[in-house]
């Protein structure tokens, strides 16, 4: 079982540390362990409880009423109120529920939440309003080394699988004269954004060639003349010299001068290439991709 200092609990749940301390004293809502220097530490169970509390607060519950409930009653109220919640509130609830199921490694619960969100919101809004905020929140955990690698892989693999299944379920491409090539360059591994982009492009009827993560430079050099894509979409996320990114894009433009190159992720890395290569477009968001399409 892992433990979390109060500032990490604040960032994860969205509840201020000062407020958490007041609730402990006034309502005995949770009782943290104490270090030898009297610092608070919170368990996974307490994190999950506060995530439930945050969900109920977002739906108009008073903290005094929540504090009077048992653990089972809090869980029951979360389930009941989610059914009639507003769109913004339900998205908050979905995010919190995903975090709870990730912490406990409950695959069936994680999949059930993802499926419920997709059914209610559609896959696109689920990704924008639930999955991206979820990834942002657990990114906080990654930074402070509180989410172990297996928890990260557990969550990301399910999301990847859902995106792949949704993409497989799309109708065949109807627009044949504008082919998209998508890949992550060498040493790039964060594939969810690329998979979502592939889904969006395919859903608009375009043909895509999806190469996935960590594609060596020599492979791209070989495939570009064969495929001759109209558009190449790639992500830069990992830290690397800006000059390396610019050189990579210049090499692509030389091999495929008629193509447009869409760059997402850390667009600051590619900003210099826009000066050297006319057909580089830095995508600032998913909506920017939609505008391009």
CATH 3.40.50.280 residue ranges for the chain: 170-292
pLDDT at 284 (0 to 100): 84
Contacts of 225 (CB under 8 A, 6+ apart): 255, 256
DSSP for residue 171: P
Torsion 218-223-224-230 (CA) sign = negative
- What would you measure as the largest C-alpha separation in the chain, in angstroms? 69
The fold of the 3-166 domain, in CATH, is: Multidrug-efflux Transporter Regulator; Chain: A; Domain 2 (1.10.1660)
pLDDT at 146 (0 to 100): 64
pLDDT digits (tens, 9 = 90+) for 57-75: 887 889 999 999 988 888 8
**Out of 3.30.420.40, 1.10.10.10, 3.40.50.970, 3.40.50.280, which CATH number does the structure's domain 170-292 have?**
3.40.50.280
pLDDT at 1 (0 to 100): 55
Q: Closest Cα partner for 75 from 51, 111, 104?
A: 51
Whether the Cβ atoms of residue 81 and residue 47 lie closer than 8 Å to each other? no
| Region at 59 (left for phi over 0; alpha for psi -120 to 50; beta for the rest) | alpha
> How many other CB atoms are found less than 10 A from the CB of residue 2?
15
Q: Is the pLDDT of residue 267 over 70?
A: yes
pLDDT digits (tens, 9 = 90+) for 14-37: 889 899 999 998 988 888 888 888
pLDDT digits (tens, 9 = 90+) for 232-261: 999 988 888 888 888 888 888 888 888 999
Q: Is the pLDDT of residue 212 over 90?
A: yes
CA atoms within 13 A of residue 67's CA, in its CB half-sphere: 14
pLDDT class for 147, splitting at 50, 70, 90? Answer: low
């Amino acid at each position: 079982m892992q433990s979390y200092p109060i500032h990490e609990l604040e960032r994860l749940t969205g509840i201020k540390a000062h407020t958490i301390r007041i609730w402990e004293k006034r309502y005995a809502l949770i009782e943290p362990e104490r270090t030898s220097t009297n610092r608070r530490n919170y368990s996974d169970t307490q994190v999950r409880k506060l995530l439930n509390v945050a969900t109920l607060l977002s739906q108009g519950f008073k903290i005094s009423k929540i504090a009077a409930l048992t653990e089972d009653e809090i869980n029951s109220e979360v389930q009941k109120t989610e059914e009639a919640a507003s769109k913004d509130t339900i998205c908050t609830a979905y995010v919190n529920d995903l975090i709870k199921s990730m912490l406990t490694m409950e695959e069936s619960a994680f999949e059930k939440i993802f499926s419920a969100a997709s059914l209610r919101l559609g896959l696109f809004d689920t990704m924008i309003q639930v999955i991206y905020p979820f990834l942002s929140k657990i990114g906080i955990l990654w930074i402070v080394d509180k989410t172990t690698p297996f928890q990260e892989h557990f969550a990301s693999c399910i999301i990847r699988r859902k995106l792949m299944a949704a993409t497989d379920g799309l109708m065949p491409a109807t627009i044949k004269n504008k082919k998209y090539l998508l890949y992550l360059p060498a040493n790039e591994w964060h594939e969810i954004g690329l998979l979502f982009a592939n889904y969006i492009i395919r859903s608009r009827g375009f043909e895509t060639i999806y190469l996935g993560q960590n594609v060596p430079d020599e492979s791209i050099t070989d495939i570009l003349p064969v495929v001759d894509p109209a558009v190449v979409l790639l992500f830069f996320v990992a830290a690397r010299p800006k000059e390396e990114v610019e050189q990579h894009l210049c090499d692509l433009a030389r091999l495929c001068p008629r193509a447009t190159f869409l760059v997402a992720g850390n667009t600051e890395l590619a900003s210099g290439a826009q000066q050297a290569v006319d057909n580089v477009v830095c995508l600032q968001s998913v909506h920017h991709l939609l505008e391009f399409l």
